[in-house]
Structure 1
Amino acid sequence: MSGSSILVKISKERYESSTYKTTPGGKGHICKPVIVNIRKTHFPLSSHKRPSASRDVDLLTKTFKKLPGFHPVPYVLSDKNSKKEHDPLYSVENLKKELKNIASNEEITKDSEIFVCVVLAFGESGYFYLPNDPIDDRKRSDQPPKFSVNDLLLSFKGNHCPHLILKPKVFLIQTCNPNLDQINKANFAAVGGLLPQIQRSPIEADILIYQSTVSGGYTDRIKKKTKSRLGKNIDHKRKKSACQFVYALYKEVTALTDHREEFELTDLILNVNKSLEDFIEKEHYKSDKRNISWNIEPPKMPVCIDQLTKKLVLKTQRWNSTQRPIHCCIL
């Protein structure tokens, strides 16, 4: 921290291990996930909603519950009160302050061995939009504030959050493109005026960013007939489906935890990529109620930037059922 130094005790075992420690911390859990869920963003002429917002959080919570040691109640930031000037999602500065508070929350950092942050919002690679929803509509910005993924990462670097030093920091980011729409054309066309996406990389080790830009809108309007044909490949149990990235995470974690005692994070990422690639290659995103094509073609796979210095192995409920000890570090 600025102007002062903080002594952080790091065990020799944790420092020298080839695998991140995945045993519960002082409060009895491995991780208390943080979820930033922005359902609605106001733009100059209109607002955009993510219909899957509540379902996404529900599926993420169920996903984390499948992993022993993960706190059953995530720390969720939502935009329900984003009109209030002191709300964390009211402005960029407010969110920076809130992230600083999260970094100093011992239950999330000091007492956990893994840090997981999920962002669900509109945006593109490298940033996401805040709600842009002030109390007085006349004070609304011409463009919604952009929150940089780099600023998100900086909040949890070692100099700002010493309790996370040598602990894996995993950022799962789903940014839906607000320009996604449907057009009466047979082929996909680019949206005029869009700038090319900028890829941004972290500058510190022990960080992994896994970002998907496959907009939730692709699955919101799939025909009932198509949903029935796809079966378990998409989330169709609720009136408002989860975005495909979140559902793929839930589905693949379920598959891994049902059949393995433990798995590496890399296995999960590869399985999610394959699931999304299958979804997109079969052109499921083209079919909607009116059979109208989308104006933006989705990318093949999410972008993963991995700077973890050790393997991250997660145990499952099957591990506990074998009566093996869970109090030691995986080697």
Structure 2
Amino acid sequence: MEAVEADVNELMKEMDITSQRENTCLCRPVIINISKTYWGISAKKRPSASRDQELLLKTFEELGFADPYIISDTNSHLETDPLYSVENLIQELQKIARTPAHTKDAEVFLLAVLAFGEFGYFYLPNTPKNDYQERERNPPKFSTNLLMSHFNGIHCLGLIQKPKIFCVQTCSDLLKQKDRSEFTGEIFRPEENRIPIDADLLLFHSTISGGYTDKMTAVTRVARGEVIDQEGDHPACQFVYSLHKAVRTLVNELGEFQLDDLILRVNLLLEEFIDKEHYVSDIRNQPWNIDPVLPICVDQLTKDVLFGTKLNGPS
């Protein structure tokens, strides 16, 4: 016990002089981007995956963050890949927690997840080793609680008293269009969520998928205004697009801003998207079997988090 206390005291001394270090940065984010998940040998794709990542990279650059560390499912069929299994991803998260660039040498920790899933968890790729050999019939789930647990003050001393932000975008694999004459279908029921008790932590979890706007024609997206992501064949998830737009607007208008300002701005944009039914497709006038809902935001931060161009020089 005395040895642990000594380690903590030593770390606190180091944190007091963090701003004097040459290699200090505001944040080096982590992005987990899963574009495809297999149920048996049947794959479901997230067409928004590349656009989501592109907008996140622009957003982090706007905020003056260092280059993100990206974990993608490009080689998830390999047994050594971080996304091959729950065990592999746990090992990767433990490695990140031990990396000073993400923790001890950064002022803020930020991890973004882009994947299939629901509130409370996301699916791993479950990629077959080849075209004939399937993995599990259902892909493994990775809970957001397990994700966050690797970066609390108990398991990651380098992040004690530092803000830890998790942005989780989980697209529902049940999302589909249906004919207006249909009255049946699976109803989305969020799983029970446990509220994190770790201080200096924020979870921003959205399920507003890119699928809601992917079926729109380009003409319709343009006609419905800036609330819809108009660029490219496959729009980004509306949460990611709204985050990007909110950061860009706040930086231009204020130069610096609180994290609370960003959350409120994002939710206002998503509220407009939902209330005005901008997500309704114009393909055969079919509704969705799952309506979009505002993100869950759990805030346990004990100090203000200030972002903006006035605060951060080149990373």
Asked if TM exceeds 0.5, the reply is: yes
Shift of 1:11: 5.1
Do structure 1's residue 245 and structure 2's residue 239 form an aligned pair?
Answer: yes
Structure 2: segments with no counterpart, 5+ residues: none
Map 1:87-126 to 2 at 5 A.
Answer: 87-126=81-120
Residue 12 of structure 2 corresponds to 10
Do structure 1's residue 47 and structure 2's residue 43 form an aligned pair?
Answer: yes
Shift of 1:287: 1.9
Residue 261 of structure 2 corresponds to 267
Q: 1:183 to 1:86 in 2, by over 3 A?
A: same
Structure 1: segments with no counterpart, 5+ residues: 16-20, 321-325, 327-331
Residue 161 of structure 2 corresponds to 166
Residue 124 of structure 2 corresponds to 130
Residue 29 of structure 1 corresponds to 25
Residue 309 of structure 1 corresponds to 302
Q: What is the distance in 2 between the residues matched to 1:195 and 1:247? A: 25
Q: What is the distance in 1 between the residues matched to 2:94 and 2:61? A: 26
Shift of 1:14: 6.0
Percent identical across equivalent pairs?
49
SS class of match (1:254): helix
Aligned partners of 1:188 and 1:296 also within 8 Å: no
User: What is the number of residues matched between the two proteins?
Assistant: 309
Shift of 1:214: 1.1
Residue 180 of structure 2 corresponds to 185
Question: Under a length normalisation based on structure 1, what TM-score does the superposition of the two structures give?
Answer: 0.87
SS class of match (1:170): strand
Q: 1:260 to 1:55 in 2, by over 3 A?
A: same
Q: What is the distance in 1 between the residues matched to 2:183 and 2:265? A: 27
Q: 1:118 to 1:191 in 2, by over 3 A?
A: same
Residue 218 of structure 2 corresponds to 224
Match of 2:270 among 266, 276, 293: 276
RMSD: 2.5
Q: 1:178 to 1:203 in 2, by over 3 A?
A: same
Question: Under a length normalisation based on structure 2, what TM-score does the superposition of the two structures give?
Answer: 0.91
Runs (4+) of structure 1 exceeding 3 A deviation are: 3-8, 11-15, 23-26, 136-139, 186-190
Q: 1:223 to 1:9 in 2, by over 3 A?
A: same
SS class of match (1:134): coil
Shift of 1:56: 0.8
Shift of 1:102: 0.4
